[in-house]
Amino acid sequence: MAASFASRCSRVSRSLFRGLSNNSPGLFTTSHEMTCSNSFSQLQQQRTFIQMRTVLKVADNSGAKKVMCIQALKGKKGARLGDTIVASVKEAHPNGKVKKGKVVYGVVVRAAMQRGRCDGSEVKFDDNAVVLVDKQGQPIGTRVFGPVPHELRQKKHVKILTLAGHIA
């Protein structure tokens, strides 16, 4: 990967030089250089926050299957692991406690964006998932599926931790 980056860099520098020498192809070469650098950074996916329109899985047995985030309650850019969000239920089990179209609160228990811990470690999951809660923070469902991180303890979501099968 380092070799390919070096070769891409040399291509970029050569295109830059050509751009400096002539004005008319300069525009084309600068755009070429930008796409080169973009493609390299896109080799590693940049995971970001959970924001409006993010679809998340539901990790409990409250009846919903997929929810879409409407609002991240804390954070300017979006919600992270352990934060609470307001969501709208997009997909639900036929007989469950929540129905499609209902606006619910949820706690993010798995996020694809890494979250740093105080000892220098970082944790990231392969998917985004929430556990639906009520306004007071108590989970609606009775079981939680999949691993949950330690961070919930700090956010005072102890009930979810006790329901969880595995703590990451």
By CB under 8 A, name the binding residues for another protein: 1, 44, 110, 114, 119-127, 129, 145-147, 150, 153-154, 165-168
Smallest gap, in angstroms, from Cβ of residue 40 to another protein? 14
- Comparing CB distances to another protein, the nearer of 13 and 154 is 154
Please tell me the distance from the alpha carbon of residue 164 to that of residue 143, in angstroms, as a whole number. Answer: 7
- Comparing CB distances to another protein, the nearer of 18 and 153 is 153
Smallest gap, in angstroms, from Cβ of residue 60 to another protein? 13
Smallest gap, in angstroms, from Cβ of residue 23 to another protein? 41
- Comparing CB distances to another protein, the nearer of 15 and 109 is 109
- Comparing CB distances to another protein, the nearer of 15 and 164 is 164
Phi and psi, residue 150, nearest 5°: -65, -25
Q: Contact at 8 Å (CB) between 104 and 87?
A: yes
Q: Can you give the C-alpha Rg of the chain in angstroms? A: 22
Burial 16-40 (b: 16+ CB within 10 A, else e): eeebeeeeeeeeebeebbeeeeeee
3-class DSSP state of 31? helix
Smallest gap, in angstroms, from Cβ of residue 106 to another protein? 17
